[in-house]
Chain A
Amino acid sequence: MSIDNEFSILQSTLKKLLKAKKESGFENKNWDEWFIDHFSDIKSSRDKSVENFFYKNDFDQWVQNFTINLDNIQNESSAKDIVLNYSGKNDFAIIIGAGPSLKKHNHLEKLAKSNYRGAIICTDRSLIPALKAGVTPKKFPNFFVITIDAYEEIQKYYDDEIVKEFGHLINGIFSVLTFPATVNKARNAGIKINWIHTLFDYAEGQKSFNYISALMIRSKNPVHKLPAIQTGGNVGTSGWFIGWKILKSKTICLIGMNHGWEEDDPKDLILSHGNVGDISEIKSNEENFQKLFPKIFNPYFKTNCILDPIFEYYSSTLKEFILRSPENISTINSTEGGSLFGKRITCLNFTEFLSKF
């Protein structure tokens, strides 16, 4: 390295850099990671592909959903009020995803029989199975359910007698973009509705839909502001952010969050990301399969899991945000499988977690 490239700065400059590094969420990361991130102003090709897809296929639906929801959003609670009502009671939170490990390891049944006293954050898809397994708000009073997806079919996750039985004891956290019939199902079941923004274009400033929709919500009452969360692209990661940023939990445990497939799951299920896609044009020869759907080994649980491109994207995104979270936020993966392991993630058998918390 030439002497001309020697990197030397004043301590006052270093202090400014340290402050900027901390404020951008990189306090616990090394300088190189911060510099690379800080000087990058181009979205990753993965982020760009996903963005293009949603603008083409879903954006219009989001705007329609928001418009129909607006009157209710203006009159119902902001999710920021949850902090005021529940502060100090949610030091621990369990996020319940709907991954195959939930059933495989009887995690809902183990939770139902436990003496756990922290918050429960159910993803919408896991609500009915959780209630039916005995994980109810009667036993766990700090009980939340979240919906991020704006699709019409999400309403089925609130369509069951058991939701009506326990709804009045459940706090629901809903994106302002949620399909209106989904929120109606939850509302009619007695679930208390708390609204949040799901961030996607706020960086575009005053022209962004996130900014404009927030203005519209505040048009009747200027102090009616909502928290705006990073979703990480899926409801499970949204749950992790809600645990940290809204419930202010210090220890966040993940169950049913495989972010991957089991080795013995049917090939068609894996190819189609859970039977949701048209897989007829996806080449499934062995070489292509191993490339698109790599098998990874979780050295902590000593299990294999198979990623598809979407799960790989989710998994790497959540790991990035876990790394960027403050040191006092502990993320414990008790899924007992899947792709979530690595720095700042403690993999712990769920029975062991329940015995400690």
Chain B
Amino acid sequence: MKANFKINNDDDEIESKELPTEEKKDITDEEFENYIVKTGAAGSFMVFRNFKKKQDELGLDEI
């Protein structure tokens, strides 16, 4: 028995992913980095990423 994957056009999903916003223009990576440096990113911490074990990104019971 086989399972088939349906191929959708890229455009189909775009609308549903967008949240309602007003006057939204994406800032550049440079502008984002500049803002982080200027404000000192106070009250922030790194977001943990693990591309080999994505599940670990949700936390570990104990280490």
A and B: interacting chains: yes
Which residues of A come within 8 Å of B, CB atoms?
1, 5-11, 14, 23-26, 31-32, 37-38, 40-41, 43, 45-47, 49-54, 57, 78, 80, 148-149, 151, 197-203, 210-211, 214, 225-235, 238, 241, 245, 272-274, 276-279, 281-282, 290-292, 294-297, 299, 304, 308-310, 313-314, 317, 321, 324-325, 341-342
Q: How far is the CA of A188 from the CA of B59 in the complex (A)?
A: 30
A37-B54 in contact (CB<8A): yes
Contact of B2 among A9, A49, A211, A290 (CB under 8 A): A9
Known: A199-B60, A202-B63, A245-B58. A299 touches B45 (CB 8 A): no
Contact of A295 among B23, B59, B60 (CB under 8 A): B23
Is B31 in the interface zone, CB < 8 Å from A?
yes
A299-B1 in contact (CB<8A): no
Contact of A309 among B27, B55, B58 (CB under 8 A): B27
B56-A294 in contact (CB<8A): no
A309-B35 in contact (CB<8A): yes
Residue of B nearest to A44 (CB): B49
Contact of B49 among A47, A52, A292 (CB under 8 A): A47
A234-B35 in contact (CB<8A): no
B59-A199 in contact (CB<8A): yes
Contact of B62 among A51, A227, A230, A279 (CB under 8 A): A227
A80-B42 in contact (CB<8A): no
* Residues on B with beta carbons closer than 8 Å to the beta carbon of A49: 29, 32-33, 36
Interface residues of B in 7-39 (CB under 8 A from A): 7-8, 13, 19-25, 27, 29, 31-39
* Residues on B with beta carbons closer than 8 Å to the beta carbon of A54: 41, 44-46
* Residues on B with beta carbons closer than 8 Å to the beta carbon of A45: 29, 32
B62-A32 in contact (CB<8A): no
Give 18 A-B pairs besides A14-B3, A54-B44, A309-B31 with Cβ atoms closer than 8 angstroms: A6-B4, A7-B4, A8-B2, A8-B4, A24-B55, A46-B29, A47-B49, A53-B37, A202-B56, A226-B63, A230-B59, A234-B45, A274-B43, A292-B27, A292-B35, A297-B20, A304-B22, A342-B19
B59-A277 in contact (CB<8A): no
Contact of B48 among A40, A202, A227 (CB under 8 A): A202
- B51–chain A nearest beta-carbon distance, Å: 4
B34, B45, B52 — most chain A CB neighbours (10 Å): B45
* Residues on A with beta carbons closer than 8 Å to the beta carbon of B57: 25, 230, 321, 324
Q: How far is the CA of A80 from the CA of B60 in the complex (A)?
A: 11
Known: A49-B36, A292-B31. A241 touches B45 (CB 8 A): no
Residue of B nearest to A37 (CB): B54
A50-B55 in contact (CB<8A): no
- Give 17 CB contacts A-B under 8 Å: A25-B55, A32-B13, A47-B49, A53-B33, A151-B42, A199-B56, A201-B46, A202-B50, A202-B63, A203-B50, A234-B45, A292-B35, A294-B23, A295-B23, A296-B24, A297-B21, A297-B22
- B24–chain A nearest beta-carbon distance, Å: 4
* Residues on B with beta carbons closer than 8 Å to the beta carbon of A324: 57-58
A276-B59 in contact (CB<8A): no
Contact of A276 among B5, B7, B23, B42 (CB under 8 A): B42
Residue of B nearest to A203 (CB): B50
B3-A50 in contact (CB<8A): no
B46-A51 in contact (CB<8A): yes
B52-A341 in contact (CB<8A): no
A273-B39 in contact (CB<8A): yes
Known: A232-B47, A294-B25, A310-B36. A25 touches B41 (CB 8 A): no
A26-B54 in contact (CB<8A): yes
Q: How far is the CA of A214 from the CA of B48 in the complex (A)?
A: 16
A291-B36 in contact (CB<8A): no
* Residues on A with beta carbons closer than 8 Å to the beta carbon of B47: 47, 50, 230-233, 317
Q: How far is the CA of A325 from the CA of B47 in the complex (A)?
A: 16
B22-A294 in contact (CB<8A): yes
A235-B43 in contact (CB<8A): yes
